[in-house]
Structure 1
Amino acid sequence: MWVGAVVIGLAPNLLIVGAGWVLGMSGWSIAGAALQTLQADKLPEKQRGKVAALTGLMTQVAPVIGIGIAYAVSSSTLLIFLVPGVIGAVLLALFPLIKPEGSSVSLARSGEMTLKSVVSSYGFNARKYPDFGWNWVGRFVFFVGLYFNTTFGTFFYSQRLDLPVREVAGIVATVGMIGVVAAAAGAIVGGFLSDKLQRRRLFVMLAALLFVGGAVAEATAWSLPQIIVGAVLMQLAIAVFATVDQAIIYAILPDRDQAGRYMAVTQFAQKIPSAVAPLIAGVVITIGAVGAEKNYTLLYLVGAAFALIGGLIILLKVKSVR
């Protein structure tokens, strides 16, 4: 991760920037996956919502801090990438010292690691583990709806507010900052309340309904106040869903001794929609479009439908979690 940041900071051309980005994101993904796996391994049921909430809160606060650090050293392109990278690397290096796990020498090994064994490890028996399978499907469908409604935000604001794209940057930033506050509140409230009430699926469904409300508000919005209301509702919904569904995943892992494997499988339910949904959304906005006006109303309503279906799947099909 740190090396990738340095490469980007020193890159003489776009190709090297891309290489540094891939390197840095690979490190970030590995570290994030390891932390999630550790939570799946160690957290007791009564703390899963709280920890997921605090994790969600940090994912909202950290980018703001990062932007502040970058602004403080903005006179140097290298420092913009180097300083946050060093901070992240140092904190990650300290983590195993603060939370040691002991030696792994005596742990049982499942056999030789090959490309075939790695690829096959991502499969699982959905009939044997129906809760995990249905939660994966519900999460996948919800995130399809999410990416439908977040991909073309800048162009949506431009069309609905009748402004050139270059003039909506300030609006996007303002809406984004308000959304950060809403997301932080959603993560904390959803996580802590779901722990206290020991109800997870109810909060997932509540998140889906909030998302529908926000998507409908945006679909019918032609003014900035209504757009802000819609965006805040959707950010609140996303935070509640992500936090509580994370706690559900920890509870329904098919095999806690292979938590890393199943957490990786879970990530596909988010990563695949992030790649596929924007492509489909680009087609949806052309349906019934008149001239240069794109059909964002249809796009946001379709996204709302996907989110609602995702929430219903988890509410009705995941049986072992309340």
Structure 2
Amino acid sequence: MALSPTRTDAGPDPAPGRTTRGLLPLLFTGNAAMYALYLGVGSVLLPLQVEHIDPAHKVANLGLVGGVAAIFATFFNPFAGALSDRSGRRNPWILGGGLAAVAAMALLGGADTVLLVAIAWCLGQAVMNFYQSALTSVVPDRVPPQRRGAASAAVGLGLPVGSTVGVVTASAFSDHYRTGYLVLGALVAVAAAVFTAGAREQRMPAKAPAPLREQAAAFLGVLREPDFRWAFIGRWLLVLGYFAVVGYQLYILQDHIALPAGLEPSEAVAILTPVSAVTMALSTVVGGVLSDRLDRRKLFVGLSAALSGLALLIPVFSPTWAGMLVFAAVNGLAFGCFMAVDTALVTMVLPRAEDAARDMGVLNIANAGPQILAPFVASAVVGLGGYTPLFVLGAVLALLGALAVRPIKGVR
């Protein structure tokens, strides 16, 4: 589908050199802090906390917490984006969500039952959705189309760097997870303050509030756009497959992989994450820049999703520490390129510029929702057949995600 004059890229077209040069480092910083919290909590602190509360039922309980939070995050993310659109502002929501993250993480760290952990993590998702939906909308708001690949690379670099910082920080506080939660919340708060201080706000006309039924219809309406719908499906499948494995990485290393003598599972996670981060950072930059120069998005997205699927099969054939190291490197290479270029692709299939935050909030369901839903799915798979079927499921989902980009017509 050809781009129409009402699409997001038809908005203000500032001079790319002047506008994006200072914005890209701020986008990187803001996203790195966000992923530090998501990955530090999801990969290390939350599994440790759940295990501490009830070691015998840790797999099922982690899945329960993840499933409840997934339902909440699925409905709340586009709502947060719609509020940002209605106000015509981004920075206040970024700053407010970032500061509230500290309080939410303090509450989560103090939870001492599975029920309280689930409630606190839902609240944490709520404040982070305000932060994430507004931050995600900055690219279609302020970056011209010809610079979307570079901007998406800056956003994408936040994942490998943020995941490394988050996991290493969380692992350092594995014996004091309450402090770890506070440190990760503080990282988001500082990043929010830095971003809003350095990124000049571009006010947009405030929108009048619409009836609830009309808002719900609008949320569903964007998924009726074929290109957006296929991008949503591809992102959902790939992210679910990725985080179903990464979210259970600590338990995989505890119960499935024979680690070298003296290497603790939390230390092993802290090794695997930087290995993945290095290759992810490389492919993020190379993929984003090349997709700009070649003006090709679908090719990079499809190939990187397929590579992720193949990488997830490595531990199936080599369930060893060496196999996990190779898996981390190859999967990081694939996931980094996918996230960078897919973000650029999505900004080019948004139906309406004035609804950018709301529509990116709908897309964020395909990004944040699977990250939280993954433990629920993974616990069911592990409970039925162990960890090997979990890797196979992740590979199948990633390969289906690669196929999902083929029907997209409005972007090459």
Residues 20 and 81 of structure 1: is their aligned pair in 2 closer, same or farther, counting only changes over 3 Å?
farther
Residues 85 and 280 of structure 1: is their aligned pair in 2 closer, same or farther, counting only changes over 3 Å?
closer
Matches within 5 A, 1:45-64: 45-62=145-162, 64=164
Cα displacement (A) at 1:133: 1.3
Q: CA RMSD in A?
A: 3.3
Q: Match for residue 411 of structure 2?
A: 321
TM-score after normalising by structure 1: 0.81
Which whole-Å CA distance do the structure 1 matches of 2:294 and 2:139 have between them? 21
Q: Match for residue 217 of structure 2?
A: 120
Cα displacement (A) at 1:147: 2.8
* Identity value in percent: 27
User: Contact conserved, 1:141 with 1:310, CA < 8 A, in 2?
Assistant: yes
Cα displacement (A) at 1:272: 3.2
Unaligned runs of 5+ in 2: 1-97
User: Contact conserved, 2:101 with 2:186, CA < 8 A, in 1?
Assistant: no
User: Contact conserved, 1:33 with 1:260, CA < 8 A, in 2?
Assistant: yes
1:140 corresponds, among 228, 236, 239, to 236
TM-score after normalising by structure 2: 0.64
Matches within 5 A, 1:73-92: 77=179, 80=183, 84=187, 87-92=190-195
How many residues are matched? 305
Unaligned runs of 5+ in 1: none
Cα displacement (A) at 1:148: 2.9
Q: Match for residue 306 of structure 1?
A: 397
Q: Match for residue 332 of structure 2?
A: 235
Q: Match for residue 99 of structure 1?
A: 200
Which whole-Å CA distance do the structure 2 matches of 1:251 and 1:12 have between them? 40
State the secondary structure of the residue aligned to 1:317: coil
- Larger displacement relative to structure 2 (271-280 or 208-217): 271-280
Which whole-Å CA distance do the structure 2 matches of 1:320 and 1:306 have between them? 24
Letter in 2 for 1:304: A
Q: Match for residue 138 of structure 2?
A: 38
Q: Match for residue 84 of structure 2?
A: none
User: Contact conserved, 2:300 with 2:338, CA < 8 A, in 1?
Assistant: yes
- Larger displacement relative to structure 2 (44-53 or 16-25): 16-25
Cα displacement (A) at 1:173: 1.0
Report Cα offsets for 1:216-257 as digits up to 9, x if no partner. 111112321221101221122111111111111111111122
Letter in 2 for 1:90: A
Which whole-Å CA distance do the structure 2 matches of 1:156 and 1:34 have between them? 35
Which whole-Å CA distance do the structure 2 matches of 1:49 and 1:212 have between them? 23
State the secondary structure of the residue aligned to 2:327: helix
Letter in 2 for 1:317: P
Quick check: which has more Rg, 1 or 2? 1
User: Contact conserved, 2:305 with 2:338, CA < 8 A, in 1?
Assistant: yes
Which whole-Å CA distance do the structure 1 matches of 2:267 and 2:297 have between them? 37
Residues 17 and 31 of structure 1: is their aligned pair in 2 closer, same or farther, counting only changes over 3 Å?
same
Q: Match for residue 189 of structure 1?
A: 286
Residues 12 and 38 of structure 1: is their aligned pair in 2 closer, same or farther, counting only changes over 3 Å?
closer
Report Cα offsets for 1:102-151 as digits up to 9, x if no partner. 4x5xx373x43444343333111655x21111111222222232233223
Residues 283 and 55 of structure 1: is their aligned pair in 2 closer, same or farther, counting only changes over 3 Å?
same
Matches within 5 A, 1:252-291: 252-287=349-384, 289=385
Which whole-Å CA distance do the structure 2 matches of 1:19 and 1:282 have between them? 19
State the secondary structure of the residue aligned to 1:149: helix
Q: Match for residue 247 of structure 1?
A: 344
State the secondary structure of the residue aligned to 1:123: helix
**Is 1:171 aligned with 2:261?**
no
User: Contact conserved, 1:7 with 1:17, CA < 8 A, in 2?
Assistant: no
User: Contact conserved, 2:222 with 2:359, CA < 8 A, in 1?
Assistant: no
Q: Match for residue 296 of structure 2?
A: 199
Cα displacement (A) at 1:279: 2.3
- Larger displacement relative to structure 2 (11-20 or 26-35): 11-20
Cα displacement (A) at 1:56: 1.4
User: Contact conserved, 1:4 with 1:23, CA < 8 A, in 2?
Assistant: no
Q: Match for residue 258 of structure 2?
A: 162
Cα displacement (A) at 1:309: 1.1
Which whole-Å CA distance do the structure 2 matches of 1:268 and 1:25 have between them? 12
Residues 298 and 84 of structure 1: is their aligned pair in 2 closer, same or farther, counting only changes over 3 Å?
closer
Which whole-Å CA distance do the structure 2 matches of 1:25 and 1:148 have between them? 18
Report Cα offsets for 1:192-229 as digits up to 9, x if no partner. 11111111111111112221221111111232122110
Cα displacement (A) at 1:90: 2.4
**Is 1:226 aligned with 2:308?**
no
1:151 corresponds, among 247, 264, 267, to 247
Cα displacement (A) at 1:170: 1.3
User: Contact conserved, 1:208 with 1:308, CA < 8 A, in 2?
Assistant: yes
